[in-house]
Structure 1
Amino acid sequence: MPEHDNDTLLRQLGLAVRRMGAQSVLSSAAMAKHFGLHPTDLEVLDLIVLHETVTAGELAIATGLTSGSVTALVDRLAARGYVTRRRDEADRRRMLISVVRTATAPIEAAYEPRRIAMHRLWSSFDEETLRAVTGFLTRSTDLLVRCTEEIVAPVDTGQAGGSTKPR
């Protein structure tokens, strides 16, 4: 493939990913509003669903939120009955946060038509394409996680004690 065609394809890919990312944010905001949640609360709830059990520290790293913001967010989710907290038996200082599936069932049901439609669309692709897309999305998401971690990491100014200002 000529370099010009590859550059054009990469630009098109970048635009498609941006469009999908923006639509994902807007769709999530609409769903969150439907359930009376803040969009960040809904997305963090989904992270907890994906991992089944997490710590507040893991959520802070994944989201870039401060520990205080994560605590307030988890408090809101717990008050709505979406999550529970329990002490980690291996390390009593840590709290484990888990989803309450009966409470999240209405949210999951609201997403079901979309899941079915996406499954139908994705089923139209061959195995090689699905493997390539899965690899692309996995590696791209892993890169975004690292970028988020870098954005929220404290900057070392070289002064005693460093700095806690984000980059």
Structure 2
Amino acid sequence: MASDAPTADEAVRTMLLLVPRLVGRAKKLPVPERLRDFNLAPRHLSLLSYLLFDGPMTVNELAARLEVAPTTVSLMVGDLSRRGILDRTEDESDRRRTIVSIAGTYRAEVEGWLAAGARAWRTALDPLTPEQRRLVIDTLRTYEREVERDWTPR
């Protein structure tokens, strides 16, 4: 290990100072003008991110990726589709399933909204090895899980 590597306590201090700044900057990302009146929350941003990066998918697929109940995703999809942000189409191979996608009229705005964050993550992660990227992702997931566990009322 490099001699300038922080101790665990120094790293915790740095992260406690850094994470709120990251969140604050993310909250300041300007919502595209055409989407401002929709009062989109972070959960909407996650849903839109999956649809943008991974393409159209079913409510159940979205629920699995977002790690929430299908009914929660169904409510969000219903709300966003009524507003015209999402399209719902019947699955040709199984008419009981609905495929969800970003409506073409809002795709450019969603792409633009997510572009700055995607560029920043690419700049941060590109120089890393695949193993280092996995470590970063696993570390953030562990932090998320522990914060949720510690802050959830018992």
Range into which the TM-score falls when normalised by the shorter chain? 0.5 to 0.7
Letter in 2 for 1:122: T
Residues 76-124 of structure 1: CA deviation (Å, up to 9, x unaligned)? 2212322222233343332221223442212333555x369738x928x
Q: Give the letter aligned to residue 112 of structure 2.
A: A
The answer to which structure, 1 or 2, has the higher relative contact order (CA under 8 A, 6+ apart) is 2
Using the alignment, how far apart are the partners of 1:88 and 1:70 within structure 2? 17
Q: Aligned partners of 1:76 and 1:88: how far apart in 2?
A: 20
- Structure of greater Rg: 1
Is contact 1:85-1:97 (8 Å) kept? Answer: yes
Moved more, 46-55 or 56-65: 56-65
Amino acid at match of 2:9: T
Q: TM-score, normalised by structure 1?
A: 0.57
Maintained 8 Å contact 2:85/2:103: yes
Question: Taking structure 2 as the reference length, what is the TM-score of the superposition?
Answer: 0.61
1:74 deviation in Å?
Answer: 0.6
Q: 2: CA distance between counterparts of 1:68 and 1:116?
A: 28
Contact 2:58 2:99 in 1 (8 A): yes
Q: CA 1:135–1:55 in structure 2 vs 1: closer, same or farther (change >3 Å)?
A: same
For 2:8, give the aligned amino acid. Answer: D
Aligned residues: 144
Deviates more, 1:69-78 or 1:54-63: 54-63
Q: Secondary structure at the match of 2:101?
A: strand
Q: What is the percent sequence identity of the aligned residues? A: 18
Question: Is this contact kept in 1: 2:49–2:114, CA < 8 A?
Answer: no
Gap regions ≥5 residues in structure 2? none
Judged with a 3 Å threshold, the aligned counterparts in structure 2 of structure 1 residues 71 and 144 are, in CA distance, closer, same or farther, namely: farther
Match of 2:120 in 1: 118
Structure 1 spans left out of the alignment, 5+ residues: 152-166
Partner of 2:23: 22
- Name the counterpart of 1:67: 70
Aligned to 1:79: 82
Please report the RMSD computed on the Cα atoms of aligned residues, expressed in angstroms: 4.2
Query: How many Å separate the matches in 2 of 1:91 and 1:17?
Result: 47
**Are the aligned partners of 1:32 and 1:42 in contact in 2 as well (CA < 8 Å)?**
no
